[in-house]
Structure 1
């Protein structure tokens, strides 16, 4: 077996591994349509390499050469559909059909050209370059561009450049053989197949890394999300809140914490049932989401207790936020409570002090919440050491 033949066999083997890997990802996450596209593309890639591997043993290889070309074009278009799906772009099936039909027609029309003609080789390799350029374009136009995504875009560009350079590489290395059967023994085949293998493996590994990271991120998101409120749970809150607090202290920016507790919630459950209580929880969570931007860290940290971290806010700004939530919740209507119990909540606020950790902030906010409960509920209290020296008007009871 020639060196190029060995590389071809390795490409066949690696395509099988990657097809299986993407299939397993698709099997685990059935909503991941891109993984299904990638699995099918690499499976067709196996078929392409198998056909190419058989060509040297055929007396008349014209049909096999055409099939190998057509199968690889189809595989790459399916792969590109997966990239479009991954980066939330509409799949341009009309354009794909035009590329497929145009490539096949151009390939057949070039059959009578000299085998070593750069024009003929460019017609053969050009569609592959166009397809990889489309892949790079999908990533470029996407808003999902992490370091991994940018690296993938670079790999697509390298793949496109690789296919564009093949005709000139063949000319420099003495051509691609006098016949399809002799191609596998040429120096050009060895170098071309080796470069293709490196780029293909790198692309597949990077794609697998991206998809696996997404799966792990989704698992983490589910483990840190409260099902009833769709807010962060305590675990998710503490992780994000600590990071935000560290960042604010490093930059010297203010940051405040609000602890919220729904008043008389046990009575709601006892009088109207836990189903009604769940609706109250969901309603309060919806109010928090409605008045919070992406900078705020919002969570249900247990039972009827919620927490909101407000980066960039002093305690007085946090007080206004809490008051807005308090008033909105007081006006929240629920059919199960019609003509009955009103809905109120109490709020405790603590502004971060120099070098203070999250646990300390939460203790001070909890103490302020206790003061709000002691004052009759349905009000906002600020931790005592966060109050301005000019007076105590900021801790007056705010009646609903």
Structure 2
């Protein structure tokens, strides 16, 4: 009987993992719609470097903080309901951003970008959803595959400027809004929660308090703020950096940013799979060391196009491996009934890690030397601090948060 059931279970597991990854991708595209066009907005609306940075960073902030609540709601309602809800709730802000940009209003763009952050909360839905479909030994790989939904940032960086040229500013936002709506319909028709999922009907606030008391929550939050925050920050701000330093057009800068995001996306499941086979600590250590090294190289502004490409692609690979490694670590240690709450806090920290760097980069930009040296060196320092923390304070075999046993 089990032999007859297993193929169906395996097929359902794969189908729902693919669906979840797609939902993540289209929402990440929506979340990142301002970044690829930020230099265009800066020129059309005459924004300062700080104003442009604030415009890029605002959706990141809301998408990050919103994950805390969305993660707990996922524990209660399940991934299917929350995937549908987030996709539908992201449609009005996408259209509002298009309308505000068409009108050339910076205040309206900021307000619309605030609500656009809803799309960024999708990550806190996917991790508990995927966890419930997979046994512990496969969760590192599975969450890594789901994390490939970050490819939405690459799609946005590459296609959004081109869509604007082909279909116009408002038309581009309408296309993405329609894609979100069709994605929600697809989830209604075909997505299912795992048989192992059991709703946690405890009130949200006590659940968050309980998750906040777990050491794993804050340890992983710090590490994820560095690796995922670095990815988010560069995915959003790299078009500005490339255009400013190297003088590329918005389309060319977007294409290069897409390459950065794609490299990180492909590296994420590698980090997760490695963490299924070796202690995640070692995966994270390599990620942090590589990040510090490549950020140092980037601070010296390697010449285009080969050496700058190698530098930023290598940086993306190290960051991507780290994101997979950190969440494989979370999946090992978080109590099963609190995965959503822990994930919400950790992923919020990751998003917040991506909120501040664009502001720092804008504030520390040297217009005389036309460089971002100070901002990049601050990334180096942060990665080194995280490296030392991981090496000294975290152990290869951590105590399980639920049982107190080593894992």
Greater Rg over alpha carbons, structure: 1
Answer yes or no: same fold by TM over 0.5: no
Q: Return the structure number with greater strand share.
A: 1
Higher relative contact order (CA 8 A, sep 6+): 2
TM-score, scaled relative to structure 1: 0.28
TM-score, scaled relative to structure 2: 0.28
